[in-house]
Structure 1
């Protein structure tokens, strides 16, 4: 009886679950996972994979409805010309820009070369006629020179002015040189020299450069640049008693260059003569 009491009772031991139930649950989970992945793949990309699979099985998911064929076109209707619609072309696209408006958008010479020479001549500066350059180039020019004192070989006191441009009269630059200029007791430039610079700046109508006249009168170096133009007055390095002056227009890259190109008549195609115009369609005449 004692030996039986020491043996543990089998009523308190846990029995492991059967292996068959565990395998069934595992297969069920695996089947569901594969089904979800396959369904996602087949339904993705607008059911492209599902349609391909259905096509391999000779099954059409969305059979196309056969549309009736349109009736044949009447040859007479086909031969009829299409109606022409009127087309309006804005004049600004074909008209050459007017040069007188260019001054509203960029710096310009208000006078042509011949007109500038004539105006200075009337102001008392004896400019030559507008003519081809003596250097044999395609440039045109007019000039003025007055010698107040020389040593027989070169001027010791003189003023020289030249306006250069092209055959059409477009000015490229205005240059001047004074040698041994006379001054008053305060060191200001003598009026006989000063009148050249005053006349040139007055005829250019560039009012923002008129302040440079004060520096020129006192024989001080000055360099003014604004709106695509420049005025420079400087003493020569080789001679402390000689001074150079230059006015020029040089458009800066970007909007100024594009604007200048637009107003350049040389870039525009010339208008056709009357015979050619009459042969063009009405909308291009």
Structure 2
């Protein structure tokens, strides 16, 4: 007897009703999206027209957030500046003529010193370049009283050396076989050289050296960077050397001399620039 196949092994197709519902839902959703886009586009003009035809007054106003007015920014007031007074001595170019109040200086230039000695009867040469070919300048005096051939037996020699601008480096003198008076003191014709030189320096505390020179005794005086030396030569008991110079000692004297040296200061500004500066800086 033949057996009929069981219904469990047969495939049943899905109902068509569900497919149709899904299709209609997708179509409605697409139409809604298109309609919403059309109504809301162009600043919702189509939506307002449709609402007016339907008897509705659609006034949609977009409320914008309220803007708070900007608060004024408080500008801090600058602190009151007190006027600053700068002492003129801090910016004023030092005056070399005042340097003598702080350290030893030559009160006269080389040419002036030579002229003063000439007026005193000592026949100094003119201030000129040194014959040795160096950059130094000098003026000198020499008088020979006695000589043995080319060897002076009695003479006096004086030389002042400095630079082209007239600054004095040193003053030197040498006397050989000096004439003396009955008491053994230096003859006035020789003594006049040392008296004139020391008088022009205006170093009053060094004038005591004149007494030793007059007695032909060795003497050495130093003070404030200056020195005066009068001594007998080792090779000859009848020859004497005199040296007068200024050499600042390390420390305050060097710094003071550097301050009063005009060569280390910047040149004064042009007149136009100077007039534009405040009075205190002119």
**Do both share a fold (TM > 0.5)?**
yes
Query: Which runs of 5 or more structure 1 residues have no equivalent in the other structure?
Result: 1-69
How many residues are aligned here? Answer: 213
The residue aligned with 2:238 is 241
Alignment of 1:80-229 (within 5 A): 88-229=85-226
C-alpha deviations, 1:191-242, integer Å up to 9, x for none? Answer: 1111111111111111111111111111111111112111100011112211
The 1:86–1:283 alpha-carbon spacing in structure 2 relative to 1, beyond 3 Å, is farther
Q: Structure 2: how far apart are the matches of 1:174 and 1:205?
A: 14
The residue aligned with 2:267 is 270
Q: Structure 2: how far apart are the matches of 1:207 and 1:256?
A: 19
The 1:137–1:84 alpha-carbon spacing in structure 2 relative to 1, beyond 3 Å, is farther
Cα distance, 1:168 vs structure 2: 1.5
For normalisation by structure 1, the TM-score amounts to 0.67
Q: Which has the larger radius of gyration?
A: 2
Q: Structure 2: how far apart are the matches of 1:101 and 1:281?
A: 26
For normalisation by structure 2, the TM-score amounts to 0.68
Cα distance, 1:86 vs structure 2: 6.1
**RMSD of Structure 2 on Structure 1 (CA):** 2.7
Cα distance, 1:89 vs structure 2: 3.7
Q: Structure 1: how far apart are the matches of 2:101 and 2:218?
A: 30
